[in-house]
A and B are shown apart, each in its own frame.
Chain A
């Protein structure tokens, strides 16, 4: 497997406060990779490091062979444009309609004509099932619709990398499942590498190829691999507790 995205010996901290240390893992092209862990263990912080919003204290983030923080700001911007990011709250610009939000990256970074952009926006919104809501403002959408609109914007430039920050947080089980299916379909059809921050076990078992589990106490990664295999074979009690919601080990596998 050739690494498409690598986190190499990463240590993260806010000022004096250590968040996580010695994180190392590689993600293959087209893989769905989850960053797992309890609340407050630094999952979202790790994501913010991976997309270049925070600078590592120690270590490197490699996109292919490019070190994100060795590049100049322009190069970093170019790399970031190969990433689509769906933020936890959607982070849609509240002063623009849904369609304008999706059109923004296209207007700024592509050479399409306005009519082509309109068609592309319609397509992306249709992909996430929001075509009828194109002219609404983000404040007029429900939580799940906002997340899908954010996904449409993340897809605008056909990204090689897709990042999701807690995609199913705050969604009902059915919407959450639909979003999981959507992520799977997008990966299969676009071939993007997908990184998801989540602690929702059903999601993790349903879509993750592999994942890394962060621990809040030891402040480092305690397991890496396919969630089903981790559940079946990992001897570490903390891993078992997380993947079984603290239930004692029983025979058979829950998924």
Chain B
């Protein structure tokens, strides 16, 4: 093949070397030829003069430029004198372009020691903590202003958010609560049947749904559904300068965007929780009726006798608490997100993960406190 890339290193009469390049350097083979050549150049005596000759080049692409850059680097290290005169004009121009890269100017030293990195991480975490505290403080102030009728808030935004966080979530809450109730009944009944106490399944389902499962289930659903949506919405608003625009229009984003969302969630989530309890109880009743021969009347009378109202209240209270978590985390991560598509994605992920972790930790804490208090 006449056009295969090749390179020859020939000593000249005056003691210098001539590096001649031939053929088509766009072929895959060029990489291999280049590597061989670099090895040869590495064995040259320090201080040698090398003339490059590209008259035999038929075609060339980026592979040749990469080779030449490496050659240049090696030459500088070993003090070889390179003479570019014989190379095509285009190669020279592109090499000059590649040379012309200003140092990035970021004001901070590039290399950080291990200790410095740890220190910066600690400072960063502490700042994070401060941001959360400031956000919650601002939110409370904004809520106060809105309650006092002085906030910049549109009723339409609240009702719109209420629809998104309430009725629109009914489908998925119904399905999962029904299944949760059925699972509780099924698992309980299999164990209780051994003791001939199958009827207590009703108490178990009522107690479990009212006090624990309904609130947690709703919380997790809303974290994945609504919290993520808040983070993505506010994140892309931040990326699109919409939040800046609101700020300079004199509409504080905290009042205009965050309060309606948090408020809507805090109004809707307790209702969703109550609804989830009811659907879960229905699920339990279905299992009892179809598989364990407990009539609906027996189930209901057992349930109302043994599960007191306060358990429902505790569940509802958790609904409010989890609404606060989902709303605050979703809005905060969204507004703190960077100005790019990947930053918005990362903010959404963080919103869901942080909300779910916080909900479960908070649930454990409330359960511990209420148990110790004996309610």
Contact = CB atoms under 8 A, between A and B. Distances in A.
A188 interface: no
Interface stretch (B88-96, B110-118, B205-213, B237-245): B237-245
The SS class assigned to the B binding surface is loop
A53 B240 CA distance: 15
Interface stretch (B18-26, B73-81, B247-255): B247-255
B149 interface: no
Interface in A83-130: 83, 85, 87-89, 91-95, 104-105, 107-109
A247 interface: no
Contacts of B233: 95
A30 interface: no
A68 to B, nearest CB: 12
Contacts of A107: 154
A51 B152 contact: no
A109 B244 CA distance: 18
Contacts of B152: 108
**Residue of A92, A93, A109 with most partner-chain B CB within 10 A:** A93
A240 interface: no
B146 to A, nearest CB: 14
Given A17-B108, A53-B244, A87-B244, A94 B249 contact: no
A94 B237 contact: yes
B106 interface: yes
B106 A80 contact: no
Given A15-B107, A80-B248, A108-B250, 15 more contacts: A16-B107, A16-B108, A17-B108, A52-B248, A78-B250, A80-B249, A85-B248, A91-B242, A91-B244, A92-B245, A93-B242, A93-B246, A104-B249, A104-B251, A108-B152
Interface of B: 105-108, 152, 154, 233, 236-237, 240-242, 244-251
Q: 4 shortest A-B CB distances, which residue pairs?
A: A91-B241, A17-B107, A91-B245, A77-B250
30 contacts: A17-B105, A17-B106, A17-B107, A17-B108, A53-B244, A53-B247, A80-B249, A81-B249, A81-B250, A85-B245, A87-B241, A87-B244, A89-B241, A91-B240, A91-B241, A91-B242, A91-B244, A91-B245, A93-B237, A93-B242, A93-B246, A94-B236, A94-B242, A95-B233, A104-B249, A104-B251, A107-B154, A108-B152, A108-B250, A109-B250
